[in-house]
Amino acid sequence: MLETRMNARVFWGASGVVAAMLVTTLLMPGTADHAFKAAQSWTIDTFGWFYIASVAIFLVVVLALGFGPAGKLKLGPDDAEPDFPYVSWLAMLFAAGMGIGLMYFAVAEPIQHYIAPPDVKPGTILAAREAMAITFHHYGVHAWAIYALVGISLAYFTYRKGLPLTMRSGLSPILGKRITGPIGDAIDIFAICGTVFGVATSLGFGVSQMTAGLAYEYAVPDTITVKIALIALVMGAATLSVLSGADRGIRRLSELNLILAILLMFFVLAVGPTLFLLRALVQNFGLYLDHFVKRTFTLYAYEPRAWMADWTLFYWAWWIAWSPFVGMFIARISRGRTIREFVIGVLFVPTAFTFLWMTVFGNTAISLDLGSAAGGIARAVQANLSTALFKFFEYLPATSVTSALAILLVGVFFITSADSGALVIDTLASGGEEDTPRWQRMYWCILLGVTAALLLVAGGLGALQAATLLAALPFCFIMLMLAFGLIRQTNADLAGVALAEDGAAIGERLKRLFVPASKAEILRQMNDNAVPAFRTVCEAMVQEGWAESRVEHDADSASLTIMHGPDQVMVYRVAPRSRPLAAYTAMDAPEGRRSVTWTLSASTIGVPGGRDVTGFSAEQIASDVLSQLERWKRR
């Protein structure tokens, strides 16, 4: 029998929904395409205002968390260190977030807005400016705020509060214990299906660009057989990567892809109109800032036009639909970072790189189209988006080299999207388990490839894309709940931090900074402060009629047990905890030993998360017990 570490209801429930969707689109591709697209149009027309308002809220919440008091909280215990070096972390963010999209639309989108802008005359200098401002808006901080909100929520509740790495965990402050029931299962199934459909659709478009490039440059037939062969080849590589895990396969591929992308970008910058591009980057960013608030809330309510539904609303729905995948992935790789570091890394660094990328490719394409290409790039974009990038390279030196590098980049982005998608889905389907049997990871990786291949054969990618976008509406409501739950939880945790900071004596705090505490000192604090605090609370419980409470104390720990009925038990426990000294400490470790410091750690069975209560007085510990009791009762 195969070893499993799955949540069977979620695993098979999601598999069943994916199978039903595949059967529907395969048997009735035309009908499904029409029905889904009609529903998508109705949703965007009816709820476009809701998408615009929600994305603005997501951005405000993420900025407030990152640069407010909550920014100092870690996505993990207070002494946690990041799992990945900063550059590797950024490379994985970039590869999972928008890699294939940047390759596919780097030339196509600016040209499309240049030849058909919403507000100015097409094909003019004003249209060129407008095109880049719009492109920046669609790929800027709004998109990454959507990903960041989901990522912060998942990482915070998983690594700091001890809940499983699943979508339902972010709703624990609202749903409480109900996240372990059918509601939580439905949320995770929904996230898995959205990830499968979104990744499979993107993989289908990615392989279409690869075959278009091979046909354009090397006369390889652009047939369905070639596409399926490419899918099989790339998914084989993705399977090998996903079996090696995020620390090896995905990390190394992401670093390789970032290096290749930077090389390609700087080549275009060097051989293109370099000074013009540098000036354009500065001006594009200025236009982006100048129009920031206006575009954030623009709906063309007074002058309705189809452009809004075709572009901005479409993008917002697509980013929201992709957020379970990207948010889960960046949460998984972000343990140990502070919320502020996370927000800066996720919101601003990828955005800055994207702005540079889009300026180099987009402004060069527009400049060439106005000059030597004489409209050739615009005609290529209108004829076939998949070949636009390769038509663009024709007007630059070393066409064969850059085209080959572009095909390789799309292929590696293909692999990183597939393997990171499979890891995310496997984690969701396994109830947050990260160390799962190989067959489970292979199952989801193969399913992604088979889904993309079958839909390419049947022509169902458009239907599946529309269905994915439809899923954005209910998930938008889930994201608003994630935002509320995250604010509520961080505020509660900040109150505990403030209690510690305000109550600790200055001398004690200075001593902890410069002189490592010994275990004996921490045990003395436990006996002198924690045990009396427990007894005070216990006596108050008895006076109030809570007779079922007791204090237990041994040489290495102390605990207060509170019982409310036969099945409701809260245990507040304190015990010494050691951790290595920081590298900059002035204290020298004894020869052959690593120097450590000791803290008094408090944990509460029934309430996720632990706290450092070193230096707390008896009154402060009693207050913390009551705070944890209040949280426990709310659950």
> Same structural domain for residues 205 and 298?
yes
What is the average pLDDT score of the chain?
82
Report the CATH number at residue 349.
1.20.1740
Same domain flag for 473 and 522: no
Residues 50 and 135 in one domain: yes
Q: Among 61-75, 121-135, 237-251, which stretch is predicted with the lowest mean pLDDT? A: 237-251
Interval 520-567: pLDDT, tens = 888 888 888 889 988 888 888 777 666 578 888 888 889 988 877 666
DSSP string covering 588-618: PPPTTS--EEEEEEEEEETEEEEEE-TT--H
Assigned domain for 498 exists: no
276 vs 232, which has greater pLDDT?
276
Which residue, of 437, 466, 492, is where some domain finishes?
Answer: 492
Decide if 408 is inside a domain.
Answer: yes
Q: Which tens digit of pLDDT belongs to each residue from 434-443?
A: 677 778 888 8
The segment with the largest mean pLDDT, out of 129-138, 176-185, 301-310, is: 129-138
> In angstroms, rounded to a whole number, what is the distance separating the alpha carbons of residues 73 and 611?
12
Sign of the alpha-carbon dihedral angle for 303, 305, 308, 311? negative
Assess whether 269 and 381 both reside in one domain: yes
Residue 286 has pLDDT above 90, yes or no: yes
Residue 223 lies in a domain: yes
Predicted pLDDT of residue 512: 54
Distance from the Cα of residue 319 to its chain's centroid: 11
Give one DSSP letter per residue of 33-73, joined into a string.
HHHHHHHHHHHHHHHHHHHHHHHHHHHHHHHHHHHSGGGGS
Task: Quote the CA–CA distance of 387 and 205 in Å, as a whole number.
Answer: 12
Burial of residue 219, with CB atoms counted within 10 A of its CB: 0-12 exposed, 13-18 middle, 19 or more buried: exposed
581 and 440 together in one domain: no
Element (H, E) at 31: helix 29-67
- Give yes or no: residues 287 and 170 share one domain: yes
Q: What is the mean pLDDT of residues 321-347?
A: 88
Question: Residue 1 falls within a domain, yes or no?
Answer: no
The pLDDT confidence band at residue 128, using thresholds 50, 70 and 90, is very high
**Residue that wins the pLDDT comparison between 88 and 378:** 378
- Residue 482 shares a structural domain with residue 509: no
Task: Say if residue 531 is in the same domain as residue 432.
Answer: no
Q: Are strands 596-605 and 549-553 parallel, antiparallel or unpaired?
A: unpaired
What domain range includes position 142? 8-492
What pLDDT does 442 receive? 84
The residue among 323 and 357 whose pLDDT is bigger is 357
- Global pTM reads 0.74
Domain boundary at 441, 467, 492, which?
Answer: 492
pLDDT for residue 594? 43
pLDDT of residue 56: 96
